[in-house]
Structure 1
Amino acid sequence: MSASPLPFHLINAFTTSSPHTGNQAAIVIFPSGNDPRSHDTEWMRLVARDFNYSETAYLVPLDVKDKDQSTVTVRFGLRWFTPEVEVPLCGHATLASAFTIFSLDPSANRIEFITKVSGTLVALRTPSGDVSISLPAIPSSPSEISSSYQETIINAIGLTSGEILEVTPYEFAGKSVIVQIDPNVDLASLTVDSRAIALVADGLSIITQANASTEISSRVFAPGLAVDEDSVIFLPTL
Protein backbone atom coordinates (compact mmCIF):
# COMPACT_ATOMS: atom_id res chain seq x y z
CA MET A 1 0.00 0.00 0.00
CA SER A 2 1.49 3.34 -1.03
CA ALA A 3 1.76 6.21 1.43
CA SER A 4 -0.79 8.99 1.17
CA PRO A 5 0.35 12.23 -0.49
CA LEU A 6 1.50 15.05 1.77
CA PRO A 7 0.75 18.72 1.17
CA PHE A 8 3.74 20.99 0.70
CA HIS A 9 4.19 24.71 0.16
CA LEU A 10 7.01 26.61 -1.54
CA ILE A 11 7.45 29.93 0.24
CA ASN A 12 9.62 32.97 -0.52
CA ALA A 13 10.70 34.55 2.78
CA PHE A 14 11.98 38.12 3.20
CA THR A 15 10.02 39.51 0.28
CA THR A 16 6.60 41.08 -0.09
CA SER A 17 5.35 40.97 -3.65
CA SER A 18 8.09 39.88 -6.05
CA PRO A 19 7.94 36.19 -6.98
CA HIS A 20 11.15 34.14 -7.15
CA THR A 21 13.00 36.50 -4.80
CA GLY A 22 13.91 36.43 -1.12
CA ASN A 23 14.92 33.11 0.40
CA GLN A 24 12.99 30.02 -0.62
CA ALA A 25 11.89 27.26 1.72
CA ALA A 26 9.80 24.14 1.24
CA ILE A 27 7.22 23.44 3.96
CA VAL A 28 5.91 19.88 4.36
CA ILE A 29 2.97 19.26 6.70
CA PHE A 30 2.25 15.83 8.17
CA PRO A 31 -1.35 15.03 9.14
CA SER A 32 -0.24 13.93 12.62
CA GLY A 33 2.58 12.35 14.55
CA ASN A 34 1.06 8.97 13.71
CA ASP A 35 2.39 9.25 10.18
CA PRO A 36 5.58 7.11 10.24
CA ARG A 37 7.30 9.51 7.85
CA SER A 38 7.18 12.20 10.56
CA HIS A 39 9.74 10.15 12.53
CA ASP A 40 11.85 9.01 9.57
CA THR A 41 14.92 11.25 9.50
CA GLU A 42 16.35 9.65 6.37
CA TRP A 43 13.06 10.07 4.48
CA MET A 44 12.98 13.76 5.42
CA ARG A 45 16.59 14.24 4.35
CA LEU A 46 15.96 12.63 0.96
CA VAL A 47 12.85 14.73 0.34
CA ALA A 48 14.80 17.86 1.28
CA ARG A 49 17.43 16.83 -1.25
CA ASP A 50 14.70 16.53 -3.89
CA PHE A 51 13.45 20.06 -3.15
CA ASN A 52 17.08 21.26 -3.18
CA TYR A 53 16.29 24.49 -1.32
CA SER A 54 18.69 25.69 1.34
CA GLU A 55 16.13 24.47 3.90
CA THR A 56 13.03 22.31 4.00
CA ALA A 57 10.84 22.49 7.11
CA TYR A 58 8.66 19.64 8.39
CA LEU A 59 5.61 20.38 10.52
CA VAL A 60 3.65 18.01 12.76
CA PRO A 61 0.44 19.27 14.44
CA LEU A 62 0.69 18.47 18.15
CA ASP A 63 -2.69 19.20 19.73
CA VAL A 64 -5.92 21.12 19.42
CA LYS A 65 -6.16 24.88 19.53
CA ASP A 66 -5.72 26.68 22.83
CA LYS A 67 -7.86 29.80 23.11
CA ASP A 68 -7.17 32.43 25.77
CA GLN A 69 -9.32 35.53 25.35
CA SER A 70 -8.24 37.00 21.99
CA THR A 71 -5.24 34.68 21.53
CA VAL A 72 -5.65 31.44 19.59
CA THR A 73 -2.55 29.25 19.84
CA VAL A 74 -1.71 26.23 17.72
CA ARG A 75 1.31 23.98 18.28
CA PHE A 76 3.50 22.17 15.80
CA GLY A 77 6.63 20.10 15.93
CA LEU A 78 9.25 21.62 13.62
CA ARG A 79 12.43 20.23 12.06
CA TRP A 80 14.72 21.73 9.41
CA PHE A 81 16.85 20.02 6.76
CA THR A 82 19.30 21.23 4.14
CA PRO A 83 19.66 19.00 1.06
CA GLU A 84 22.18 16.98 3.06
CA VAL A 85 21.72 17.23 6.84
CA GLU A 86 19.35 18.23 9.63
CA VAL A 87 20.19 21.58 11.23
CA PRO A 88 19.37 22.79 14.76
CA LEU A 89 17.70 26.05 13.72
CA CYS A 90 16.68 28.02 10.63
CA GLY A 91 15.19 31.49 10.71
CA HIS A 92 13.73 31.89 7.23
CA ALA A 93 12.17 28.41 7.18
CA THR A 94 10.57 29.12 10.58
CA LEU A 95 9.16 32.38 9.22
CA ALA A 96 7.91 30.54 6.13
CA SER A 97 6.33 27.84 8.32
CA ALA A 98 4.49 30.46 10.38
CA PHE A 99 3.25 32.22 7.24
CA THR A 100 1.98 28.90 5.88
CA ILE A 101 0.11 27.97 9.07
CA PHE A 102 -1.46 31.41 9.44
CA SER A 103 -2.54 31.28 5.79
CA LEU A 104 -4.18 27.88 6.29
CA ASP A 105 -5.78 28.76 9.64
CA PRO A 106 -7.08 32.36 9.71
CA SER A 107 -8.38 31.93 13.27
CA ALA A 108 -4.91 31.30 14.73
CA ASN A 109 -2.78 34.27 15.76
CA ARG A 110 -0.07 32.53 17.78
CA ILE A 111 2.05 29.47 17.03
CA GLU A 112 4.32 27.49 19.31
CA PHE A 113 6.94 25.50 17.41
CA ILE A 114 8.38 22.65 19.47
CA THR A 115 11.89 21.82 18.23
CA LYS A 116 14.45 19.14 19.01
CA VAL A 117 17.27 21.31 20.36
CA SER A 118 16.25 24.97 20.04
CA GLY A 119 13.39 24.95 22.52
CA THR A 120 9.97 26.42 21.86
CA LEU A 121 9.83 29.14 19.21
CA VAL A 122 6.87 31.52 19.11
CA ALA A 123 5.36 33.15 16.03
CA LEU A 124 2.70 35.86 16.17
CA ARG A 125 0.30 37.29 13.63
CA THR A 126 0.49 41.04 14.18
CA PRO A 127 -2.59 43.32 13.99
CA SER A 128 -1.34 44.52 10.59
CA GLY A 129 -1.24 40.94 9.33
CA ASP A 130 2.54 40.58 9.36
CA VAL A 131 4.34 37.65 10.98
CA SER A 132 6.87 38.03 13.77
CA ILE A 133 8.95 35.24 15.26
CA SER A 134 11.18 34.90 18.31
CA LEU A 135 14.44 33.03 17.92
CA PRO A 136 17.10 32.07 20.45
CA ALA A 137 20.46 33.80 20.38
CA ILE A 138 23.33 31.67 19.20
CA PRO A 139 26.24 32.20 21.59
CA SER A 140 29.59 32.84 20.01
CA SER A 141 32.69 31.30 21.50
CA PRO A 142 35.53 33.80 21.15
CA SER A 143 38.82 31.98 21.23
CA GLU A 144 42.36 32.23 20.04
CA ILE A 145 42.67 31.28 16.39
CA SER A 146 45.80 29.95 14.80
CA SER A 147 47.76 31.77 12.13
CA SER A 148 46.93 28.99 9.66
CA TYR A 149 43.20 29.42 10.42
CA GLN A 150 43.48 33.16 9.82
CA GLU A 151 45.46 32.62 6.63
CA THR A 152 42.87 30.18 5.29
CA ILE A 153 40.11 32.75 5.85
CA ILE A 154 42.13 35.56 4.24
CA ASN A 155 43.00 33.51 1.16
CA ALA A 156 39.47 32.14 0.74
CA ILE A 157 37.87 35.58 0.87
CA GLY A 158 40.56 37.26 -1.20
CA LEU A 159 41.16 40.20 1.14
CA THR A 160 44.16 41.53 3.00
CA SER A 161 44.53 41.06 6.73
CA GLY A 162 43.85 44.78 7.19
CA GLU A 163 40.46 44.45 5.51
CA ILE A 164 39.35 41.74 7.94
CA LEU A 165 38.29 43.37 11.21
CA GLU A 166 37.33 40.36 13.31
CA VAL A 167 37.06 36.58 13.03
CA THR A 168 34.73 34.85 15.50
CA PRO A 169 34.38 31.06 15.55
CA TYR A 170 31.21 29.57 17.03
CA GLU A 171 29.31 26.30 17.06
CA PHE A 172 26.26 25.93 14.82
CA ALA A 173 25.64 22.80 12.76
CA GLY A 174 29.35 22.15 13.12
CA LYS A 175 32.24 24.59 13.27
CA SER A 176 31.03 27.97 12.03
CA VAL A 177 32.63 31.38 11.72
CA ILE A 178 31.62 35.05 11.42
CA VAL A 179 34.10 37.21 9.52
CA GLN A 180 33.58 40.96 9.89
CA ILE A 181 35.16 42.94 7.07
CA ASP A 182 35.88 46.60 6.37
CA PRO A 183 32.68 48.48 5.39
CA ASN A 184 34.49 49.99 2.41
CA VAL A 185 34.95 46.59 0.77
CA ASP A 186 32.49 45.72 -2.01
CA LEU A 187 31.02 42.63 -0.35
CA ALA A 188 28.72 41.74 -3.25
CA SER A 189 31.62 41.56 -5.69
CA LEU A 190 33.87 39.33 -3.60
CA THR A 191 34.83 36.04 -5.19
CA VAL A 192 34.76 33.69 -2.23
CA ASP A 193 36.25 30.20 -2.23
CA SER A 194 33.66 28.62 0.05
CA ARG A 195 35.26 25.19 -0.24
CA ALA A 196 38.48 26.59 1.18
CA ILE A 197 36.64 28.16 4.12
CA ALA A 198 34.96 24.80 4.75
CA LEU A 199 38.39 23.38 5.59
CA VAL A 200 38.23 25.29 8.88
CA ALA A 201 34.47 25.90 9.19
CA ASP A 202 32.20 23.05 8.07
CA GLY A 203 29.01 24.76 9.31
CA LEU A 204 28.12 28.35 8.38
CA SER A 205 30.69 30.83 7.10
CA ILE A 206 29.26 34.34 7.39
CA ILE A 207 31.02 37.33 5.87
CA THR A 208 29.47 40.50 7.22
CA GLN A 209 29.99 44.24 7.38
CA ALA A 210 28.23 47.12 9.13
CA ASN A 211 28.09 50.73 8.03
CA ALA A 212 27.63 53.93 10.01
CA SER A 213 23.83 53.70 9.82
CA THR A 214 23.93 50.29 11.57
CA GLU A 215 22.84 48.46 8.44
CA ILE A 216 24.36 44.99 8.21
CA SER A 217 25.18 43.26 4.95
CA SER A 218 26.10 39.59 4.90
CA ARG A 219 26.88 36.70 2.62
CA VAL A 220 26.61 33.16 3.93
CA PHE A 221 28.29 30.00 2.69
CA ALA A 222 27.70 26.46 3.93
CA PRO A 223 29.12 23.90 1.47
CA GLY A 224 29.53 21.43 4.33
CA LEU A 225 25.72 21.51 4.66
CA ALA A 226 25.18 21.23 0.89
CA VAL A 227 24.41 24.96 0.55
CA ASP A 228 27.12 26.70 -1.48
CA GLU A 229 25.70 30.17 -0.79
CA ASP A 230 22.43 30.93 0.97
CA SER A 231 20.18 33.57 -0.62
CA VAL A 232 19.38 35.47 2.58
CA ILE A 233 20.15 34.83 6.21
CA PHE A 234 19.74 36.89 9.34
CA LEU A 235 19.86 34.62 12.35
CA PRO A 236 23.55 34.33 13.28
CA THR A 237 24.39 37.94 12.42
CA LEU A 238 21.96 39.61 14.82
Structure 2
Amino acid sequence: MEIPVYTLDSFTNLPFKGNPAAVCPLLHELSDDLYYKIAAETNLSDTAFITRINPSDSFTTGSRFRLRWFTPTTEVDLCGHATLASAAVLFQHIKNVNPTLVFETKSGDLHVTKKEEGYIMDFPLNPPTRVEPNDFKDTIKAAVGNLPVQEVLFCYNTKKLLIRLADSCDISALTNLKVDTVALENTERSGRFCAVIVTMKGSPDCQPGYDFYSRDFSPWVGVPEDPVTGSNHTVLGSYWSEKLGKKKMLAYQCSSRGGELELELRDDGRINIAGQAITILQGTIKL
Protein backbone atom coordinates (compact mmCIF):
# COMPACT_ATOMS: atom_id res chain seq x y z
CA MET A 1 0.00 0.00 0.00
CA GLU A 2 1.23 3.47 -0.90
CA ILE A 3 -0.09 6.57 0.88
CA PRO A 4 0.70 10.10 -0.35
CA VAL A 5 2.02 12.38 2.38
CA TYR A 6 2.69 16.10 2.43
CA THR A 7 4.32 18.24 5.09
CA LEU A 8 3.26 21.88 5.20
CA ASP A 9 4.17 24.78 7.47
CA SER A 10 0.93 26.48 8.51
CA PHE A 11 0.30 30.10 9.54
CA THR A 12 3.34 31.29 7.63
CA ASN A 13 4.54 31.95 4.09
CA LEU A 14 8.14 31.03 4.95
CA PRO A 15 9.66 27.55 5.13
CA PHE A 16 10.62 26.29 8.60
CA LYS A 17 8.36 28.81 10.32
CA GLY A 18 4.77 28.37 11.51
CA ASN A 19 3.56 24.93 12.57
CA PRO A 20 4.40 21.85 10.49
CA ALA A 21 1.64 19.30 9.85
CA ALA A 22 1.62 16.10 7.85
CA VAL A 23 -1.37 15.48 5.57
CA CYS A 24 -2.40 12.12 4.07
CA PRO A 25 -5.27 12.03 1.53
CA LEU A 26 -6.66 8.48 1.69
CA LEU A 27 -8.82 6.60 -0.80
CA HIS A 28 -10.05 4.37 2.06
CA GLU A 29 -10.19 4.58 5.84
CA LEU A 30 -7.35 2.89 7.71
CA SER A 31 -7.42 1.22 11.11
CA ASP A 32 -6.97 3.48 14.13
CA ASP A 33 -3.83 1.53 14.98
CA LEU A 34 -2.33 2.50 11.63
CA TYR A 35 -3.33 6.14 12.08
CA TYR A 36 -1.46 6.20 15.38
CA LYS A 37 1.60 4.51 13.89
CA ILE A 38 1.80 6.92 10.95
CA ALA A 39 1.39 9.92 13.28
CA ALA A 40 4.14 8.58 15.52
CA GLU A 41 6.35 8.07 12.46
CA THR A 42 5.89 11.60 11.12
CA ASN A 43 6.48 12.78 14.71
CA LEU A 44 4.93 16.21 14.09
CA SER A 45 2.51 17.89 16.46
CA ASP A 46 -0.37 16.72 14.23
CA THR A 47 -0.93 14.46 11.25
CA ALA A 48 -4.19 14.88 9.33
CA PHE A 49 -5.99 12.11 7.45
CA ILE A 50 -8.50 13.11 4.75
CA THR A 51 -11.01 10.59 3.42
CA ARG A 52 -13.86 10.86 0.92
CA ILE A 53 -17.42 10.67 2.25
CA ASN A 54 -19.02 9.91 -1.09
CA PRO A 55 -17.07 7.17 -2.93
CA SER A 56 -18.12 8.67 -6.27
CA ASP A 57 -16.32 11.94 -5.41
CA SER A 58 -12.69 12.57 -6.16
CA PHE A 59 -10.34 14.80 -4.20
CA THR A 60 -10.49 17.17 -7.17
CA THR A 61 -14.26 17.49 -7.55
CA GLY A 62 -15.60 16.71 -4.08
CA SER A 63 -16.41 19.51 -1.65
CA ARG A 64 -17.05 17.48 1.52
CA PHE A 65 -14.52 15.21 3.24
CA ARG A 66 -13.92 13.50 6.56
CA LEU A 67 -10.93 14.77 8.55
CA ARG A 68 -9.18 13.32 11.61
CA TRP A 69 -6.10 14.58 13.47
CA PHE A 70 -3.52 12.64 15.48
CA THR A 71 -0.59 13.79 17.58
CA PRO A 72 2.22 11.24 18.06
CA THR A 73 0.24 9.83 21.02
CA THR A 74 -3.40 10.98 20.85
CA GLU A 75 -6.33 11.67 18.54
CA VAL A 76 -7.52 15.26 19.08
CA ASP A 77 -10.97 16.81 18.71
CA LEU A 78 -9.89 20.04 17.01
CA CYS A 79 -6.75 21.15 15.20
CA GLY A 80 -6.32 24.41 13.31
CA HIS A 81 -2.96 24.18 11.61
CA ALA A 82 -3.54 20.67 10.24
CA THR A 83 -6.97 21.74 8.93
CA LEU A 84 -5.32 24.66 7.15
CA ALA A 85 -2.66 22.30 5.76
CA SER A 86 -5.31 19.81 4.61
CA ALA A 87 -7.18 22.48 2.68
CA ALA A 88 -3.91 23.70 1.15
CA VAL A 89 -3.09 20.18 -0.07
CA LEU A 90 -6.50 19.81 -1.72
CA PHE A 91 -6.44 23.27 -3.27
CA GLN A 92 -2.76 23.57 -4.23
CA HIS A 93 -1.65 20.03 -5.02
CA ILE A 94 -4.81 18.16 -5.99
CA LYS A 95 -6.36 21.23 -7.67
CA ASN A 96 -9.77 20.98 -6.03
CA VAL A 97 -12.19 23.05 -8.09
CA ASN A 98 -14.50 24.25 -5.29
CA PRO A 99 -14.14 27.68 -3.62
CA THR A 100 -15.00 26.23 -0.20
CA LEU A 101 -14.34 22.81 1.32
CA VAL A 102 -16.22 21.26 4.24
CA PHE A 103 -14.52 18.87 6.64
CA GLU A 104 -16.59 16.61 8.85
CA THR A 105 -14.73 16.33 12.17
CA LYS A 106 -15.17 15.53 15.85
CA SER A 107 -15.86 19.26 16.31
CA GLY A 108 -18.58 19.35 13.66
CA ASP A 109 -18.40 20.73 10.14
CA LEU A 110 -15.44 23.02 9.47
CA HIS A 111 -15.52 25.18 6.33
CA VAL A 112 -12.31 26.38 4.68
CA THR A 113 -12.49 29.00 1.94
CA LYS A 114 -9.72 29.88 -0.46
CA LYS A 115 -8.80 33.57 -0.58
CA GLU A 116 -6.25 35.55 -2.55
CA GLU A 117 -3.48 34.83 -0.07
CA GLY A 118 -4.12 31.85 2.14
CA TYR A 119 -7.32 30.39 3.54
CA ILE A 120 -10.14 31.28 5.94
CA MET A 121 -11.30 28.62 8.40
CA ASP A 122 -14.76 28.78 9.97
CA PHE A 123 -14.31 27.42 13.51
CA PRO A 124 -16.43 27.19 16.67
CA LEU A 125 -15.87 29.81 19.35
CA ASN A 126 -14.85 28.46 22.77
CA PRO A 127 -15.14 31.13 25.49
CA PRO A 128 -13.10 30.55 28.66
CA THR A 129 -14.33 31.06 32.23
CA ARG A 130 -12.43 32.91 34.92
CA VAL A 131 -11.18 30.57 37.67
CA GLU A 132 -9.44 30.82 41.03
CA PRO A 133 -5.64 30.78 40.45
CA ASN A 134 -5.02 28.88 43.70
CA ASP A 135 -6.85 25.90 42.20
CA PHE A 136 -4.07 25.66 39.61
CA LYS A 137 -1.15 27.13 41.57
CA ASP A 138 1.34 24.31 40.90
CA THR A 139 0.63 24.36 37.17
CA ILE A 140 0.85 28.16 37.00
CA LYS A 141 4.17 28.09 38.86
CA ALA A 142 5.58 25.44 36.51
CA ALA A 143 4.39 27.37 33.45
CA VAL A 144 5.38 30.97 34.20
CA GLY A 145 7.56 30.83 37.32
CA ASN A 146 7.56 34.15 39.15
CA LEU A 147 6.15 36.25 36.31
CA PRO A 148 3.18 38.37 37.41
CA VAL A 149 -0.18 36.92 36.39
CA GLN A 150 -3.19 39.14 35.66
CA GLU A 151 -5.85 36.44 35.53
CA VAL A 152 -6.42 32.74 34.96
CA LEU A 153 -9.23 31.21 32.93
CA PHE A 154 -10.31 27.74 31.92
CA CYS A 155 -12.06 26.60 28.75
CA TYR A 156 -14.26 23.64 29.60
CA ASN A 157 -15.00 22.84 25.93
CA THR A 158 -11.36 22.40 24.97
CA LYS A 159 -9.87 21.55 28.41
CA LYS A 160 -7.29 24.31 28.10
CA LEU A 161 -5.96 26.49 30.92
CA LEU A 162 -5.36 30.13 29.96
CA ILE A 163 -2.81 32.20 31.91
CA ARG A 164 -2.69 35.90 31.12
CA LEU A 165 0.51 37.66 32.09
CA ALA A 166 0.28 41.11 33.65
CA ASP A 167 0.36 44.08 31.27
CA SER A 168 3.56 45.22 32.99
CA CYS A 169 5.41 42.31 31.32
CA ASP A 170 7.45 42.97 28.20
CA ILE A 171 7.07 40.67 25.20
CA SER A 172 10.53 39.29 26.00
CA ALA A 173 9.10 37.74 29.18
CA LEU A 174 6.94 35.49 27.00
CA THR A 175 9.40 34.81 24.19
CA ASN A 176 12.20 33.97 26.65
CA LEU A 177 10.03 31.79 28.88
CA LYS A 178 11.71 28.42 29.53
CA VAL A 179 9.21 25.78 30.59
CA ASP A 180 10.16 22.37 31.96
CA THR A 181 7.33 20.52 30.25
CA VAL A 182 7.98 17.29 32.18
CA ALA A 183 7.55 19.17 35.45
CA LEU A 184 4.52 20.95 33.98
CA GLU A 185 2.90 17.65 33.01
CA ASN A 186 3.51 16.26 36.49
CA THR A 187 1.46 19.07 38.09
CA GLU A 188 -1.74 17.66 36.56
CA ARG A 189 -2.43 13.95 36.31
CA SER A 190 -6.20 13.88 36.74
CA GLY A 191 -7.02 14.67 33.09
CA ARG A 192 -8.59 18.03 33.95
CA PHE A 193 -6.85 19.77 31.04
CA CYS A 194 -4.71 19.00 28.01
CA ALA A 195 -2.87 22.29 27.40
CA VAL A 196 -1.66 25.48 29.01
CA ILE A 197 -1.88 28.70 27.01
CA VAL A 198 0.22 31.64 28.19
CA THR A 199 -0.90 34.94 26.69
CA MET A 200 -0.34 38.67 27.00
CA LYS A 201 -1.63 41.88 25.53
CA GLY A 202 -0.02 42.94 22.26
CA SER A 203 1.26 46.15 20.76
CA PRO A 204 -1.35 47.17 18.18
CA ASP A 205 0.29 50.59 17.70
CA CYS A 206 3.60 49.04 16.58
CA GLN A 207 3.87 47.40 13.17
CA PRO A 208 2.65 44.87 12.24
CA GLY A 209 0.19 45.61 15.04
CA TYR A 210 -0.42 42.37 16.94
CA ASP A 211 -3.36 42.58 19.33
CA PHE A 212 -2.08 39.77 21.54
CA TYR A 213 0.64 37.16 21.85
CA SER A 214 0.59 33.59 23.10
CA ARG A 215 2.47 30.32 23.54
CA ASP A 216 1.13 26.79 23.96
CA PHE A 217 2.40 23.91 26.11
CA SER A 218 0.65 20.55 25.63
CA PRO A 219 2.81 17.76 27.08
CA TRP A 220 -0.37 15.87 28.08
CA VAL A 221 -0.99 15.03 24.39
CA GLY A 222 2.65 14.41 23.50
CA VAL A 223 3.44 17.96 22.30
CA PRO A 224 5.82 19.78 24.69
CA GLU A 225 5.31 23.10 22.85
CA ASP A 226 3.02 23.54 19.87
CA PRO A 227 4.55 26.18 17.57
CA VAL A 228 1.31 27.79 16.29
CA THR A 229 -2.05 26.53 17.52
CA GLY A 230 -5.16 27.39 15.52
CA SER A 231 -7.55 25.71 17.97
CA ASN A 232 -6.21 27.85 20.85
CA HIS A 233 -7.45 30.91 19.04
CA THR A 234 -11.04 29.74 19.36
CA VAL A 235 -10.41 30.41 23.07
CA LEU A 236 -8.03 33.36 22.78
CA GLY A 237 -10.16 35.09 20.16
CA SER A 238 -13.18 35.01 22.46
CA TYR A 239 -11.20 36.25 25.46
CA TRP A 240 -9.28 39.07 23.79
CA SER A 241 -12.26 40.26 21.74
CA GLU A 242 -14.08 40.96 24.99
CA LYS A 243 -11.05 42.57 26.65
CA LEU A 244 -10.09 44.73 23.68
CA GLY A 245 -13.58 45.46 22.36
CA LYS A 246 -12.58 44.28 18.88
CA LYS A 247 -14.08 41.81 16.40
CA LYS A 248 -11.07 41.74 14.08
CA MET A 249 -7.65 40.98 15.55
CA LEU A 250 -4.15 40.03 14.46
CA ALA A 251 -2.45 37.48 16.70
CA TYR A 252 1.09 36.16 16.92
CA GLN A 253 2.15 32.92 18.58
CA CYS A 254 5.71 33.58 19.63
CA SER A 255 7.28 30.15 19.75
CA SER A 256 10.77 29.82 18.28
CA ARG A 257 9.16 29.15 14.87
CA GLY A 258 6.40 31.75 15.26
CA GLY A 259 3.22 32.24 13.29
CA GLU A 260 0.57 34.83 12.48
CA LEU A 261 -3.22 34.42 12.58
CA GLU A 262 -5.94 36.80 11.39
CA LEU A 263 -9.09 36.52 13.51
CA GLU A 264 -12.63 37.74 13.03
CA LEU A 265 -15.48 37.04 15.45
CA ARG A 266 -18.74 36.51 13.62
CA ASP A 267 -22.29 37.41 14.56
CA ASP A 268 -23.30 33.74 14.53
CA GLY A 269 -21.06 32.90 17.48
CA ARG A 270 -18.21 31.41 15.46
CA ILE A 271 -14.76 32.67 14.53
CA ASN A 272 -12.89 33.00 11.23
CA ILE A 273 -9.21 32.09 11.50
CA ALA A 274 -7.14 32.97 8.45
CA GLY A 275 -3.58 32.12 7.54
CA GLN A 276 -1.21 30.90 4.88
CA ALA A 277 0.57 27.58 4.39
CA ILE A 278 3.66 26.50 2.48
CA THR A 279 4.61 22.99 1.35
CA ILE A 280 8.08 21.78 2.30
CA LEU A 281 7.87 18.04 1.65
CA GLN A 282 5.95 15.68 -0.63
CA GLY A 283 6.38 11.93 -0.68
CA THR A 284 4.93 8.45 -0.28
CA ILE A 285 4.47 6.20 2.73
CA LYS A 286 5.03 2.60 1.65
CA LEU A 287 3.45 -0.13 3.75
- TM interval, shorter chain, is 0.7 to 0.9
1:161-195 deviation per Cα after TM superposition (whole angstroms, max 9, x unaligned)? xx10111122366x420101024242111122223
Residue in structure 1 matched with residue 16 of structure 2 by the alignment: 20
Give the match's secondary structure for 2:125: coil
Of 158, 174, 179, 1:192 maps to 179
Contiguous gaps of at least 5 residues in structure 2? 205-209, 238-287
Per the TM alignment, residue 156 of structure 1 is displaced from its structure 2 partner at its CA by: 3.6
Per the TM alignment, residue 22 of structure 1 is displaced from its structure 2 partner at its CA by: 1.2
Count of paired positions: 218
Residue in structure 2 matched with residue 76 of structure 1 by the alignment: 65
TM-score by length of 2: 0.69
Distance 2:20 2:11 in 1: 9
> Larger radius of gyration, structure 1 or 2?
1
Distance 1:129 1:169 in 2: 33
1:113 aligns with 2:106: no
Residue in structure 2 matched with residue 69 of structure 1 by the alignment: none
Q: What amino acid sits opposite 1:169 in the alignment?
A: F
8 Å CA contact retained: 1:48, 1:83: yes
Pairwise CA RMSD: 2.2
Give the match's secondary structure for 2:101: strand
Give the match's secondary structure for 1:113: strand
CA distance 1:204–1:151, shift in 2 (3 Å): closer
Distance 2:135 2:124 in 1: 32
Structure with the higher fraction of residues in strand conformation: 2
Residues 36-51 of structure 1 mapped to structure 2, 5 A cutoff: 37=30, 40-51=31-42
Identity %: 29
1:102 aligns with 2:86: no
Residue in structure 2 matched with residue 215 of structure 1 by the alignment: 211
Distance 1:129 1:219 in 2: 25
Residue in structure 2 matched with residue 181 of structure 1 by the alignment: 165
Residue in structure 1 matched with residue 146 of structure 2 by the alignment: 159
Moved more, 191-200 or 85-94: 191-200
CA distance 1:123–1:152, shift in 2 (3 Å): closer
TM-score by length of 1: 0.83
Distance 2:128 2:174 in 1: 23
Q: Which has the higher contact order (CA 8 A, sep 6+)?
A: 2
8 Å CA contact retained: 2:197, 2:215: yes
Distance 2:43 2:5 in 1: 14
8 Å CA contact retained: 2:195, 2:217: yes
Q: What amino acid sits opposite 1:168 in the alignment?
A: L
Show structure 1 runs of 4+ deviating over 6 A: none
Residue in structure 2 matched with residue 88 of structure 1 by the alignment: 77
CA distance 1:89–1:6, shift in 2 (3 Å): same
Give the match's secondary structure for 1:233: coil
Residues 48-67 of structure 1 mapped to structure 2, 5 A cutoff: 48-63=39-54
1:102-142 deviation per Cα after TM superposition (whole angstroms, max 9, x unaligned)? 11124221101001x2110001112x253111111124244
Give the match's secondary structure for 1:235: coil
Residue in structure 1 matched with residue 264 of structure 2 by the alignment: none
